[in-house]
Structure 1
Amino acid sequence: MSGPTPAQILEAAGVPFSSFTHAPIRTYEDIERELRLPAEQLLKTLAFRTDDGFVLVSMPMLLPAGYGKIAKAAGVSRSKLRRAGEDDLTVLGMAPGGISPLTELADKTVVFHATVPSMGKVYCGSGRDDETIEVDAASLVDLVRPVIADVAS
């Protein structure tokens, strides 16, 4: 990874968290099989590429993403928002299945679904597909300072 890892970002900010390793995950089925965690505590982070950089969107795992709402929250045209490919994730220093809302990359917008701040303990990506971070959602929001919006379809 280039730059600090999500765990290093949390450590540097003094945010309490824990992490654990597991078999690589890429799909929801992998998550169910490998993590066995309550779905209501799981955050998925989607990465998008725009002409100006990246948009990272963290939301409850089971909610469907509303691309139009994501574009609006990020302040970009829907036509300019495309899912990040593996080359884009390399720029972010992240692996598919491990995308995290925590990055120090300058050209990014981070959006959290409106329910995230009140979710309590959550599990999110670490940047790697074989490690997951456990952190308090409110602490994560305080650190990331994302745009908060309803981005579910």
Structure 2
Amino acid sequence: MSGRTPAQILEAAGVPFSSFTHAPIRTYEDIERELDLPAERLLKTLAFRTGDRFVLVSLPMLTPAGYGKIAKAAGVSRSKLRRAGEDDLAELGMAPGGISPLTDVADRAVVFHTPVPDMGKVYCGSGRDDETIEVDAASLVDLVRPVIADVAS
């Protein structure tokens, strides 16, 4: 299981951010209903499992993910890439609806869709489904050091 929360990772690195709590969210419909945030600033993170390795992929909320492109960017076979289940997310210390690109889990690849570094202020998962983090995308990229690739379908 992950040691620190995404907020603790940001704090330890000295990256400025804020967070706020809200009703639990899992879907985009939940986000639209519960949060008054601009869709173009929302960053979704998808979690995958390839055996013992995790792949975390962050992209703009309304951008459809291309699984083949994700696998290629992460350096894994598409046939080995599977969506992480709730047990997998528990290993990351995260809940569905709160997946974050920030984790202490060592055996993982992180991929950001090409436009993410230039998105400015973004809102991303905190690890919990009832809290959202606001952070500068460029600062997030500097901290996470992800693979940057076109992963849209």
Smaller-chain TM-score bracket: over 0.9
Mapping 1:121-136, distance limit 5 Å: 121-136=121-136
Letter in 2 for 1:37: L
Letter in 2 for 1:15: V
Say which SS state the counterpart of residue 124 (structure 2) adopts: strand
Shift of 1:2: 4.0
8 Å contact from structure 2 (residues 24, 129) kept in 1: yes
RMSD: 0.8
Q: How many residues align?
A: 153
Shift of 1:20: 0.0
Q: Identity over aligned residues, as a percent?
A: 90
Shift of 1:52: 3.8
Say which SS state the counterpart of residue 57 (structure 2) adopts: strand
Residue 92 of structure 1: aligned partner: 92
Distance in 1 (CA, whole Å) between partners of 2:43 and 2:146 is: 14
8 Å contact from structure 2 (residues 2, 103) kept in 1: no
Residue 6 of structure 2: aligned partner: 6
Please give the per-residue CA displacement for 1:94-149, whole angstroms capped at 9, x wherever unaligned: 00000000001001000000000000000000000000000000000000000000
Mapping 1:65-144, distance limit 5 Å: 65-144=65-144
8 Å contact from structure 2 (residues 2, 104) kept in 1: no
Mind listing any 5+ residue stretches in structure 1 that lack a counterpart? none
Say which SS state the counterpart of residue 98 (structure 1) adopts: coil
Letter in 1 for 2:122: V
Distance in 2 (CA, whole Å) between partners of 1:111 and 1:85 is: 19
Residue 51 of structure 1: aligned partner: 51
| TM-score normalized by the length of structure 2 | 0.98
Distance in 1 (CA, whole Å) between partners of 2:91 and 2:51 is: 14
Distance in 1 (CA, whole Å) between partners of 2:148 and 2:35 is: 27
